[in-house]
Amino acid sequence: MNPYVNLSVENEVGTIEFFHPKSNALPSDLLKQLTESIIKSGKREDIRVVILRSSGNGAFCAGASFDELMAIEDVDTGKAFFSGFANVINAARKCPKFIIGRVQGKTVGGGVGMASATDYCFATQSASVKLSELAIGIGPFVVGPSIERKIGLSAFSQLTINATKWQSAKWAKEKGLFAEIYETVKDMDSAIQILADQLASFNPKSMKGLKEIMWDGTDHWDELLMERAEISGKRVLSDFTQQTIAKLKK
């Protein structure tokens, strides 16, 4: 199957689903489509709540595309790539509708950032998380503010420093990244549908107002995340990062 991002609507619940054959990795084109779909869902009157999910029952998201990272040759290109993650996070925080996250399996780097940008995130017991950026010479600069906002500086530091260790879904729930975890995908999806249907029946103006309160203090993120994207864009050009990515691909 070819990579895609799809927005569907049923009973005032919008579902944004993305897919990439390499464990739902996120190259620039998918990041752009995700941003556009989130913005579009926020404007549509027939959508009151949004579900953000990836395809399948395997990995939720493998993070940045290694192929694209290796192809970066200058700072501007690097900044442009990492700004894709910044745009998704900023679109999610500014979307006037609540976004429900569905994390069915392991998630890395930018995928953890996406989960943290949702307003209420469900996961399965197999949905372990990892921030591997430091291990390849970069660092979770762009997704950092969103993750730190959700789980706190201490837990974010643990994920960042121990960059090769998977933390369990239970750990992620204890830290606040996940709101609920389930043994099976079927049970998780049932719970997601119940909450989505409930939210779709609530006052949209009240939900919009509450979301603004929940994201209070992030108005400067448009500039902050772009500054972080430039930092990552510089780091990815290092020989260390390029050689490490090449080894990991093999």
pLDDT at 249: 72
pLDDT at 1: 86
The half-sphere exposure of 126 on its side-chain side, counting CA atoms within 13 A, is 11
Q: Which long-range contacts (CB under 8 A, 24 or more apart) does 152-157 make?
A: 152/176
pLDDT at 246: 82
Terminal alpha carbon distance of the chain: 23
pLDDT digits (tens, 9 = 90+) for 211-222: 999 999 999 999
Please give the structure tokens belonging to residue 39.
Answer: 């913005």
pLDDT digits (tens, 9 = 90+) for 32-67: 999 999 999 999 999 999 999 999 989 999 999 888
CATH superfamily of this structure's domain 4-200 = 2-enoyl-CoA Hydratase; Chain A, domain 1 (3.90.226.10)
Residue corresponding to tokens 């579009």: 40
Measuring CA to CA, how many Å separate 223 from each of 142, 218, 236?
Answer: 11, 10, 20
- pTM for this entry: 0.96
Per-residue pLDDT tens listing for the chain (250 residues): 899 999 999 999 999 999 999 999 999 999 999 999 999 999 999 999 999 999 998 999 999 988 898 889 899 999 999 999 999 999 999 999 999 999 999 999 999 999 999 999 999 999 999 999 999 999 999 999 999 999 999 999 999 999 999 999 999 999 999 999 999 999 999 999 999 999 999 999 999 999 999 999 999 999 999 999 999 999 999 999 988 888 877 7
pLDDT at 69: 87
Share of the chain above pLDDT 90, in %: 90
Residues 6+ apart with CB under 8 A from 182: 122, 123, 124, 125, 188, 191
Q: Are the C-beta atoms of residues 108 and 64 closer than 8 Å to each other?
A: no
pLDDT at 127: 98
